[in-house]
Amino acid sequence: MSGPTVAVLATRNAGKAREFDRLLEGAFDLRTLRADIALPEETGETFAENARLKAETVFAALGGSTAVLADDSGLQVTALRGAPGVQSARYAGENARDEENVQKLLAELRGRGDRTARFVCVLCLILPPPPIEPRAQATPGRFMAEGHVEGTITRAPRGSDGFGYDPLFQPLGWSETLAEADPARKDTVSHRGAAARALLARLREAEVIVHGT
Ligand code: ITT
């Protein structure tokens, strides 16, 4: 019997990769991205465009015969009219560390009353065409899925789990930030958790997977 499909994660973000290991366990045999494969510049204006760009670039670099999963995600803050949005990773500058992005966000929100925000995650999975003849007619399958979580930005960072803006993000109805929560609890409410569950549902519907949660 064959096991779960091998899928390469088109990401250099170790925090995302840890979450996918939990969220997609059983459905995919996930592999990290080889060091010699470069991710594209994120030139898209939307999370969906950037997720597709990353998935398509890595799928082509791997020769079109391996499944690839890409994630583009970020934080949209109401009082900042949706910023940092697609710029979330580089809010405080190219190659900014998480702490620098967190401090910049706190500075931008100083003195503002509305601290509501949402995380958004868009996934793009590309599956290689099945090995049928004539091969020229076979096209790769592409599946997109999206997830959100609503919350507020705290006045100071709290907690040390997770990554990125997790120490500042308190989901609606919670008294902890995502960085204070057990990682499995983050998965139950997070944008990435919701997107991963939507993706699995779509794949089951298309009878692409029978394994998985
Ligand atoms: P890859 O492109 O290599 O996947 P990246 O970190 O550059 O990694 P994005 O362009 O999608 O990925 O930027 C996402 C940023 O949004 C990420 O660096 C965090 O700052 C933030 N972010 C996304 N999901 C998050 C989460 O679950 N918790 C905290 N911050 C998150």
Q: Tell me the per-residue pLDDT of 65-95, one tens digit each, with 9 for 90 and over.
A: 999 999 999 999 999 999 999 999 999 999 9
Question: Is the separation of the CB atoms in 55 and 69 below 8 Å?
Answer: yes
* pLDDT at residue number 133: 64
Q: Is the dihedral of CA 22, 102, 13, 207 positive or negative?
A: positive
* pLDDT at residue number 68: 98
Phi/psi of residue 60, each to 5°? -65, -40
- How do 141-153 and 116-127 pair as beta strands? antiparallel
Q: Which helix (H) or strand (E) holds 7?
A: strand 5-9
* pLDDT at residue number 213: 45
Over residues 100-111, the pLDDT tens digits come to 999 999 999 999
* pLDDT at residue number 137: 56
* pLDDT at residue number 139: 65
List of residues 6+ apart from 207 with CB closer than 8 A: none
Give me the active site residues, please: 72
* pLDDT at residue number 212: 47
Q: Could you tell me the distance, in angstroms and rounded to a whole number, from the CA of residue 108 to the centre of ligand 1? A: 19
Q: Could you tell me the distance, in angstroms and rounded to a whole number, from the CA of residue 71 to the centre of ligand 1? A: 8
Q: Cα separation of 203 and 24, whole Å?
A: 12
Q: pTM for the whole thing?
A: 0.95
Cβ(88) to ligand 1 under 6 A? yes
